[in-house]
Amino acid sequence: MTALILDCDGVLADTERHGHLPAFNATFERYGLPVRWSEAEYGRRLRIGGGKERLASLFADGTLDADDDRTGKIAAWHRTKTEIFAELVSSGRIPARPGIARIVAAALRADWTVAVASTSAETSVRAVLAHAVGPALAARIPVFAGDVVPAKKPDPAIYTLTVERLGLDPARTLVVEDSRNGLLSATGAGLNCLITVDDYTRDEDFGEAVLVVSELGDPGRPPIEVLAAHGAARPGAFLTLDDLRACLPERGPS
């Protein structure tokens, strides 16, 4: 069976700019920390996989002084940040990315396995998924997220786990990611990867991706940009399920 695995942040919704960044800054303010991340600075922090790891980098780079209880503090800050992020999602302030709901619905109608694999907190991922595709479709999609693996992207652990748990055929599985860390995670697990860039990742190196596009697109929107095509897919104004099939090396019955 053909499978589609989606990353969360930057793929399901534009969460980084409209969700995670303001949630981090609100957390810093709530705890009285002398830290505020600009969009540019947050873009640099995004090269670090995982929210807890980004918080830990404040100690590693000297932004915050060394602290014997930093592990406990990071855990508390991250819980607060996750709660604030969930509130932003539920308020409808984080826009779903174009084409996600359409593609997910089409894949499920075609009896594809659809899953989400992210190293963000599971509660956050489930909230974004439900907002992006609707609660009914979200209930049909397994989520692998958070600390279910010991290493964050670009390590392939989260994708290896998803493939193993769902019994997927790597040759019939396509990953949709938005960053180089995600691309390396997917390809490291032996999976083909389609990239849909965002403002933070557009200039990253996606040489290993089978297809790189500006977004998945939707009817009635401006045509998507195809930034690189290394496989058989040649999309039109928006991606279709046939375009996703063409990203896979085996083109048997779906």
Residues assigned a catalytic role: 7, 9
**Cα(121)–Cα(253) distance, rounded to whole angstroms?**
35
CB 187 within 8 A of CB 208: yes
**Cα(251)–Cα(254) distance, rounded to whole angstroms?**
8
Burial of 205 (0-12, 13-18, 19+ CB in 10 A): exposed
Dihedral sign computed on CA atoms, order 238, 175, 213, 89: positive
Residue with tokens 């084409």: 99
**Cα(222)–Cα(238) distance, rounded to whole angstroms?**
9
Contacts of 66 (CB under 8 A, 6+ apart): 59
**Cα(240)–Cα(103) distance, rounded to whole angstroms?**
7
Burial of 214 (0-12, 13-18, 19+ CB in 10 A): middle
